[in-house]
Amino acid sequence: MPDLRIRFEHDDQHETVSTPVDDDAALTILRVAEITATKLVPWGSNYTFAVGLGTEDDVECLGIYKPRAGERPLWDFPNGSLYLREYASYLLSDWLGWNLVPPTVIRDGPHGVGSLQLYVEPKDDEIDEATFWGRQILPIEQMVMFDHIANNADRKIGHCLVDAQDRIWGIDHGLTFNVDFKLRTVLWQYSGQAISPEVTSDIERLLCGTPDIVVLLEEVLSPFEVAALLRRTRTLVESGRYPPLDPHYNVPYGWW
């Protein structure tokens, strides 16, 4: 598994680390902060950059910048759309109140328009990944449900993070919201099981009239992709259970 900890060292021996900020403050920083440094992240199939962000108030944060120009063409996703799916994933997670996806915006950067996401520093403690992520607790169930309704084709174990405050995060959501069934995940503990009342109540709100999240998503996804999201949600609410998964199909390419 790659080392997901990122640092920038300056000539004056000053080190840029991610300053803890709340989500609202993070969004403001992501939108307006100056990008002070860039560093190519050596993993992933698309060009991804760690960037230093600085404000006039001397607040420093790290972000993950994924420019549209650095996306590798895929046969099953529209060209130049992965950064929009990163942003759409944040919008959906935030609207549901699950806060699983780090604050994310769309903005111009050194390589053109792309997504810019707050960098989450993984917890220093070594954890048993299989045991930790194999638990049945509400935040992990929320992540499982998020992947089902967002149709996440790339939930590797390396895309699941826990920070120093034991908060659970999911990252790398470029392969989401396809109209065709694409779910690939390492989180199998809910396969075929009943959906909890708490999670059901949350996703039912997507089906009540035309919630504002639908309007927001239609600005970055196609109408067909938004309609498919609502169909998946309705199917899950009506069945009351997570679908059984197929080990020959529903496993991501590369576990990490």
Model confidence pLDDT, tens digit, residues 44-91: 789 999 999 988 777 788 999 999 999 999 999 999 999 999 999 999
Report the domain count for the chain.
1
HSE of 63 in the Cβ direction (CA atoms, 13 Å)? 34
- Domain membership flag for residue 93: yes
Q: Is residue 2 over pLDDT 50?
A: no
Domain span at 106: 8-239
- Domain membership flag for residue 179: yes
- Domain membership flag for residue 218: yes
- Domain membership flag for residue 249: no
Q: 197-204 and 138-150 helices cross at what angle (nearest 10)?
A: 40
The DSSP symbol for 223 reads H
The secondary structure element, H or E, covering residue 37 is strand 34-40
The position carrying tokens 């069945």 is 239
How much is the pTM? 0.92
- Domain membership flag for residue 178: yes
Q: Is residue 109 over pLDDT 90?
A: yes
- Can you read off the two tokens belonging to residue 79? 């060209």
What pLDDT, on the 0 to 100 scale, is given for residue 3? 46
- Domain membership flag for residue 125: yes
